[in-house]
Amino acid sequence: MTNSKTNVTELTEVTIRFAGDSGDGMQLTGTQFSDNTAIFGNDLATFPDYPSEIRAPAGSLAGVSSFQIQFSKLDIHTPGDDLNVLVAMNPAALKVHLGDVKDNGTVIINEANFTKKNLNLAGYDCNPLETDLLKNFQTVKVDMTKLVGTATEDLKLAPKLIARSANMFALGLVYWLYGRKIDNTVDFIQKKFAKKPEIVEANLRALKAGYNYGNTLELVKTTYHIPKAKFEPGCYRNMMGNQALAYGFMTAAEKSGLELFYGGYPITPASDVLHYLSGYKNMGVKTFQAEDEIAGVVSAIGAAYAGDLAITATSGPGVALKSEAIGLAVMAELPLVIINVQRGGPSTGLPTKTEQSDLYQAVWGRNGEAPCVVISASTPADCFYTAIEAARIALKFMIPVILLSDGYIANGSEPWRIPDVDSLPEFENHKTSDPDGYEPFDHSSEFLARPWATPGTPGLEHRIGGLEKWDGAGHVSYDPENHDHMLRLRQKKVDIIAEEIPDEVPYGEASGNLLIISWGGTMGSVRSAVEHIHLENKKVSHVHLRHLNPFPKNLGDIIKRFDKVLVPELNLGQLATMLRAKYLVPTIQMNINHGKPLKTSDVLNKINEILGE
């Protein structure tokens, strides 16, 4: 119940960021608020942001962990740009994130952690709560740790446990601010800590204390209500990108009638694909955590040779280690899916930050002429359908497929409409058991897909490997003419897939002054910017690419109909370079590399700059 003196204002959309030390439970807090928002019925998009260090020094700027959510009554595409609310659990969180808060936005601060030590670690010469640093914001300063201690005094808990419950106090306060019920979080706490009743009680009391504290706030005269969004009818769940990949590949295995094999090695931010799949052994999913990246990919190649739907997942540094084996899969013409959840590079780079800098690597990053199909996911929910598309292409064309995701997509979440599985198409594959006229590298099929013979099938004994083969029979060949022929054939296997890719349809006008071409996780920001521009009656069109190698066959014709082409990317211009090389178009680059998702406002500013406004 809200304070009778408090007004309730209806808003269209809100962006909130929870920030604190890695040990402050910000990811858990943000996830609980997201689940609550999904249950309520808002559209939402989230962006968890982790430190790169496993145990970064407490109180340091490098150790700040945050979770951002935008929720709305409208259809939204991003976790938001500037913040309506910042919850800062310590000085470092305030320093890192205050610059993103809108003027007159709300800043909720846990005063308990503004000690001299923490202020020094954050680089503050004096306590910012005692200066005019926060004068442009609605600031709620509260000693959360003290109030949680008071609420749990009779439980005789250790001070450390009381401090760790402060995140539930903050969550309860934000629930109050936006008129939300706490029931789903109560259920979560009771289930998660069922074997530790004292922790259940401490967190429940902290949650309720934060919620009730809102009623005592004289400073906050207004709470907020964001109405439910209008979704297409159906059953929804809040879905993260890596989870959606796992579900997509399980669906693809079911539709293809094959067993699913995952072989890989843990690496941020791709590890959760393995974690999710390993929980479905009851559905016939086989997972293998290898000793290194090379063993992970070659185990998947072995599974593909044996007749499974085989996948492996990694990030850019892992793809580098897998590259020779991927070349083997190209040479052997095996259906293999390689997931690259991109992160900031090069080398170890920014392990927990997002980037789009592995497109060159995906298209060309192998020795020799070793072409792979390359596709990319655009949102967390889209990962489900992109996984299905990757499996479909790999099986139909007997070819390795690289699926590009990124850290933002992998860890972000959004509502996902659960599809009717029966409505999804069945998959083709080229398994054969007929020994009559069998040749392992027979390319006489319509799409040059060779037959897929399971080892041990009588009459289908054959040899594959990394040495060049004769077309058809598959014997080792050093003939120069055959080598040239096989190189061109393997490239043609990729090129003809363009005939299977749906034509692109621009969002907006079919021709005009400016076309924006994007790929991967920039989709939401670009589409939001274009929607905003359309409200101003400005004609800007947008094409977002899923298929990157080969490109859709009509892409060149679309580009010719526009005066200018803008390509926003989280790299130094990789897709822009590919478009210039392929279509001889003078693309305009927009390249931002901060380890964070692209902002809608940055795209808007660039559009207006190009339009001369």
CA distance 29 to 10: 24
Shared domain for 428 and 359, answered yes or no, is: yes
Residue 210 lies in a domain: yes
69 shares a domain with 216? yes
Looking at the structure, do residues 221 and 256 belong to the same domain, yes or no? no
Yes or no: say if 580 and 337 are a contact pair by the CB < 8 Å rule: no
Both 367 and 492 in a single domain?
yes
Domain termination site, one of 474, 500, 526: 500
* 235 lies in some domain: no
The residue range of the domain holding 591 is: 512-610
Q: What is the pLDDT of residue 76?
A: 95
Q: Tell me if 84 is assigned to some domain.
A: yes
| Whole-number CA gyration radius for the chain | 27
CATH number of the domain at 360, please: 3.40.50.970
Distance (Å, whole) CA 165 – CA 161: 6
- The rounded percent of the chain whose pLDDT value lies above 70 is 98
The answer to whether residue 230 is domain-embedded is no
My answer on whether 186 and 282 are in the same domain is: no
Q: Is residue 49 part of a domain?
A: yes
Residues 144 and 280 reside in one and the same domain = no
Question: Per the domain annotation, does 238 fall within a domain?
Answer: no
Q: Does a structural domain hold residue 193?
A: yes
Same domain, 100 and 202: yes
Amino acid 157: pLDDT: 86
Q: Which helix (H) or strand (E) holds 339?
A: strand 336-342
- Segment holding 513, helix H or strand E: strand 512-519
**pLDDT, position 219:** 61
578: domain CATH number is 3.40.50.920
Residues 33 and 73 in one domain: yes
**252 and 317 share a domain?**
yes
Query: Which of the listed residues 480, 500, 520 is the one where a domain comes to its end?
Result: 500
Q: What DSSP line would sit under 432-493, residue for residue?
A: E---TT--TB---STT-PPPEEPTT-TT------SS-B-TBT--B---HHHHHHHHHHHHHH
Same domain, 419 and 547: no
- The CATH number covering residue 93 comes to 3.40.920.10
pLDDT at position 613, please? 65
Residue 225 CA to residue 208 CA, distance in Å, equals: 20
Q: What is residue 220's predicted lDDT score, i.e. its pLDDT?
A: 67
Name residues of the chain where pLDDT drops below 50. Answer: 1-2, 4
Write the CA distances from 113 to 157, 208, 543, 601, integer angstroms.
19, 21, 47, 33
Please tell me whether residues 487 and 523 are part of one structural domain: no
Q: How many structural domains are present in the chain?
A: 3
582-585: long-range contacts, CB 8 A cutoff, minimum separation 24: 582/551, 582/556, 583/555, 583/556, 583/559, 585/559
Same domain, 23 and 64: yes
Residues 165, 148 contacting (CB under 8 angstroms): yes
Question: Is residue 21 situated within a structural domain?
Answer: yes
What pLDDT score does 2 carry? 46
pLDDT in tens, 396-415: 999 999 999 999 999 999 99
